[in-house]
Amino acid sequence: MPQKIVIIGGGVGGTIVANVTARALGSEDAQITLIDATGQHIYMPGWLYLPFNTAEGIELSRPERSLLHHRVQLLIGVVESVEPAERSVRVRRVLAGGESVSEVIPYDYLVLATGARLAPQDLPGLVEGAGQWHDFYSLEGALRLRSALSEFEGGRIVLAIGGIPYRCPPAPLEFVFLLDEWLTKRNIRSRSEIQYLYPLPRVFPIETVAELATPILDERGIKYETFFNTESVDTERKVVTSLEGSEIPYDLLVVVPPHRGVAAIEASGLTDPQGWIPTERTTLEVKGQTGIYAIGDATDLPVSKSGSAAHFEAKVVARRIIAAIRGEEPSDQSDTYTGEVMCFLETGHNQASQLVFDYEHPPRPPRPSLYYHMEKQLFNRAYWYIVPQGLV
């Protein structure tokens, strides 16, 4: 009887697990179901660029079905709960006639690729000041930020971190570097001030990356304050306040909103208090559970919440499930996650660096150059054709 593989989440990680297992296992071996709330696959890294260009974001989304192996069943619906004791998932979906139905989906192997959600309610002032601050961590936020920047004629732009962890750790640095370039091209950099507020004792969590970025911030005249743990935002006074007692006024505020794990998984008792799933760092099994794996932003792993991490983790989970269904022992080398991450750091003015690291080896970022900028642009375009399919 075929084993039931259920994957929750149609992002990069979930899609790779579905495609790799479908190619390796026949229909007599496995029945693969991917559950996604919208049925649309979104390339979130592209949101970083939207405030500075004229794209509308449509090109950053494709139907999930178009990216899946033909043997993967796509179920579009909202996960209401996971029941580990019953080895099932409860999903609510809307039928063609508009009727809402709740279904129970059994599993033998479950992959939680549920990502992270923005939680502005966790930072006082964000909900009350909705529409008066900006972000690039959602499509709507990035497009609204573009509109605000188009009207900006000078003043202080502040970027504040609402809490750690958050998706794509390099993105806030990349944003201020790209902002510096954009203001320069508009000839208003001389009457603008950029201030970057970071909660740690350096401008990036990893020391080697901070050592690369700090001199660039200095060269570009981008001000920064470390040990700034954002406590509240007052959009009427236009002030950001830190737990340490600092108050920073602004003319335009960009916030990395607080992040949490997905509510349904949190309600199922599978997470820590912030909603992250306790995950074994090498096998990617959910701690205390059997046959359940977690990947990507959803985990509590000590690696960046990024598509790159999800990409590498997905390959490991797929291989472990394939081995288990075939009755084989996992390989210590290829079926173990070593914390591998590879991403780029845009530094503006057509330059970028590259960050490659794992649990044991910190990144040694090269000096920013046109080469890495072009490599990132090429990857952004090639993504749809190679990454979700698990071809790289």
Measured CA distances, 389 to 67, 92, 295 (Å): 7, 27, 16
**pLDDT score, position 331:** 75
pLDDT of residue 57 exceeding 90: no
In the chain, the number of structural domains is: 2
pLDDT of residue 287 exceeding 80: yes
**pLDDT score, position 99:** 83
- State pLDDT tens for residues 21-39: 999 999 999 999 999 999 9
Are both 126 and 244 inside the same structural domain? yes
Are both 80 and 133 inside the same structural domain? no
pLDDT of residue 98 exceeding 80: no
User: In percent, how much of the chain has pLDDT > 70?
Assistant: 100
Give me 341's structure tokens.
Answer: 């991450």
Residue 94 binned pLDDT confidence (cut-offs 50, 70, 90): confident
**pLDDT score, position 366:** 97
**Domain end call among 326, 342, 357:** 326
Are both 69 and 109 inside the same structural domain? yes
| 59 contacts: CB under 8 Å, gap ≥ 6 | 46
| 182 contacts: CB under 8 Å, gap ≥ 6 | 51, 52, 149
Are both 202 and 269 inside the same structural domain? no
Q: With respect to residue 303, please indicate whether it lies within any of the assigned structural domains.
A: yes
Smallest CA-to-CA distance from 335 within 358, 312, 307 is with 312
Determine the residue type at 380. N
- State pLDDT tens for residues 289-341: 999 999 999 999 999 999 999 999 999 999 999 999 999 988 767 789 999 99
- Give the whole-angstrom CA distance, residue 317 versus residue 327: 15
Are both 11 and 55 inside the same structural domain? yes
- State pLDDT tens for residues 182-230: 999 999 999 999 999 999 999 999 999 999 999 999 999 999 999 999 9
Q: With respect to residue 384, please indicate whether it lies within any of the assigned structural domains.
A: no
Give residue 252's domain range.
Answer: 119-258
CATH code of the domain covering residue 145? 3.50.50.60
Residues forming beta bridges with residue 62, ordered by sequence position: 41
Give me 287's structure tokens.
Answer: 């701690």
Q: How many CB atoms lie within 10 A of CB 98?
A: 6
Are both 232 and 295 inside the same structural domain? no
Are both 124 and 110 inside the same structural domain? no
- State pLDDT tens for residues 120-151: 999 999 999 999 999 999 999 999 999 999 99
**Domain end call among 204, 228, 258:** 258
| 83 contacts: CB under 8 Å, gap ≥ 6 | 89, 90, 268
- Give the whole-angstrom CA distance, residue 356 versus residue 364: 7
Are both 146 and 227 inside the same structural domain? yes
Are both 126 and 250 inside the same structural domain? yes
Q: DSSP per residue over 153-216, as a string? A: -SEEEEEEE-SSS-B-TTHHHHHHHHHHHHHHHTT-GGGEEEEEE-SSSSSSSSHHHHHHHHHH
**Domain end call among 258, 274, 307:** 258
Are both 129 and 10 inside the same structural domain? no
Are both 303 and 239 inside the same structural domain? no
Are both 207 and 242 inside the same structural domain? yes
Determine the residue type at 280. E
- State pLDDT tens for residues 348-386: 999 999 999 999 999 999 999 999 999 999 999 999 999
Burial class (CB in 10 A: 0-12, 13-18, 19+), 385: exposed
Determine the residue type at 65. R
Q: With respect to residue 356, please indicate whether it lies within any of the assigned structural domains.
A: no
Burial class (CB in 10 A: 0-12, 13-18, 19+), 191: exposed
Give me 55's structure tokens.
Answer: 């794209």
| 186 contacts: CB under 8 Å, gap ≥ 6 | none
